[in-house]
Amino acid sequence: MTMENIEKKLAFAREVLLSESNALSTVAKALNKDFITAVDCIVTANKLIVVGIGKSGIIAQKIAATFASVGTCAIYLHPVDALHGDIGVLESNDVCLLLSKSGNTSEVLQLVPYLKKKGVKIISIVGTLNSPIARLSDVALSASIEKEACPYNLAPTTSASVTMGLGDALALSVMKAKNFTASDFAENHPSGQLGRNLNIRVKDVMHKGIELPRIHLNATFREALIASSAKGLGCVCVVESERLEGIITDGDIRRILQQHDDIRYLTVDEVRTKNPLTIHENAMIGEALSLMEHRESQINVLPVLNDSQLCVGVIRLHDILRGEV
């Protein structure tokens, strides 16, 4: 493939992304008090029912899952299944969120009279405000776009992104209104790396006691090399009276060996990294991961301190990402 072909393909991909981002920006600027009304309805609801079919149905499932993860009871309801018995999940103090690009989706429209009979509030996200579904809603939010990113203006692309974005905006606005906290979020995400990051403390996975590689300030660099190799944790902490005075990592060792032909007379005090980045033993491992990654040059290990600022352990990137405590 020639460079010209590559650039042409990349230009089209960028055009798609820019088209969608511009549409999101337009919708964001057009938000009005109807959005606040929709948020208030959901905040006071018993639960949220999200309805859509086709691509809108897939987006509806994602929106329902997002709401559930940030503190609002929410479920996806297929409009056809609803008309064959599943409408029984609805109660009068529920809110129903209807998704339809055209605002005229027949399966969704057929459901509306029965939603009204149930007495539920109806919010809709539609591509056309002057549409049957919008007119029958208590609150209608516009997901109007000029055109799809699809070159034939057919495949739901930009419209899907805008609908998803409005769903996220609703979910997070409701989350904020309910004062849903990071601790609450952690309770809803007990598994996977996200769950580990939010639920496991540094002290639960750090290396401590005899596992902790340590060396004194007046030791030689050679002794530090031996101490680091013996523990195999990628570092050695420089400690005096249990207080951290620095660290020597495997990366430091490689740089030192490149800079010095003769290491026999090097001391730990000369080569240590002073005032290294540290983490408290009671911090969540997600905070440790963020400290390691959000730097110009990433690091793989952090010394761990306690309330008395004593060095009590080290935690590695591997300890955070492994699958068990």
Q: What is the pLDDT of residue 195?
A: 65
pLDDT digits (tens, 9 = 90+) for 202-221: 999 899 988 888 999 989 99
d(CA 269, CA 247): 10
- pLDDT, mean of residues 183-199: 65
- pLDDT, mean of residues 118-134: 95
Q: What is the pLDDT of residue 325?
A: 44
Question: What is the CATH classification number for the domain harbouring 308?
Answer: 3.10.580.10
**303 - beta bridge partners?**
314
d(CA 223, CA 204): 29
Assess whether pLDDT exceeds 70 at residue 196.
no
Question: Does 169 lie in the same domain as 215?
Answer: no
β pairing state of 243-249 and 235-240? antiparallel
Question: Does 147 lie in the same domain as 13?
Answer: yes
% the chain with pLDDT above 70? 95
Q: What is the pLDDT of residue 180?
A: 84
Higher-confidence residue of 96 and 317: namely 96
Query: Using 50, 70 and 90 to split pLDDT, how confident is the model at 4?
Result: confident
* Segments forming the whole domain that contains residue 51: 3-180
Statement: the pTM of the whole predicted model exceeds 0.85? no
Q: What is the pLDDT of residue 34?
A: 97
Question: Does 284 lie in the same domain as 144?
Answer: no
d(CA 88, CA 120): 12
Domain assignment of residue 299, yes or no:
yes
Contacts of 187 (CB under 8 A, 6+ apart): none
Question: What is the CATH classification number for the domain harbouring 134?
Answer: 3.40.50.10490
Domain assignment of residue 308, yes or no:
yes
- pLDDT, mean of residues 307-320: 91
pLDDT digits (tens, 9 = 90+) for 133-154: 999 999 999 999 999 999 999 9
Query: Using 50, 70 and 90 to split pLDDT, how confident is the model at 187?
Result: low
Question: Does 223 lie in the same domain as 106?
Answer: no
Higher-confidence residue of 40 and 295: namely 40
Question: Does 103 lie in the same domain as 232?
Answer: no
Domain assignment of residue 230, yes or no:
yes
Q: What is the pLDDT of residue 40?
A: 97
Helix, strand, coil percent values for the chain (each to nearest 5):
50, 20, 35
Q: What is the pLDDT of residue 3?
A: 83
Assess whether pLDDT exceeds 70 at residue 193.
no
Tally of structural domains, the chain:
2
Question: Does 133 lie in the same domain as 23?
Answer: yes
Question: Does 139 lie in the same domain as 27?
Answer: yes
Asked which of 147, 180, 213 is the last residue of a domain, the reply is 180
Asked whether 314 and 206 are in contact (CB, 8 A), the reply is yes
Please state, rounded to an integer, the average pLDDT across all residues of the chain. 90
Domain assignment of residue 69, yes or no:
yes
- For 33-136, list the strands marked E by DSSP: 48-51, 74-77, 95-100, 121-126
pLDDT digits (tens, 9 = 90+) for 12-51: 999 999 999 999 999 999 999 999 999 999 999 999 999 9
Asked whether 68 and 61 are in contact (CB, 8 A), the reply is no
pLDDT digits (tens, 9 = 90+) for 218-269: 899 999 989 888 888 889 999 999 999 999 998 888 888 888 888 888 888 8
Q: What is the pLDDT of residue 138?
A: 96
Domain assignment of residue 196, yes or no:
no
Q: Using the structure block, give the residue that is written with the tokens 């660290």.
A: 247
The length of the chain is: 325
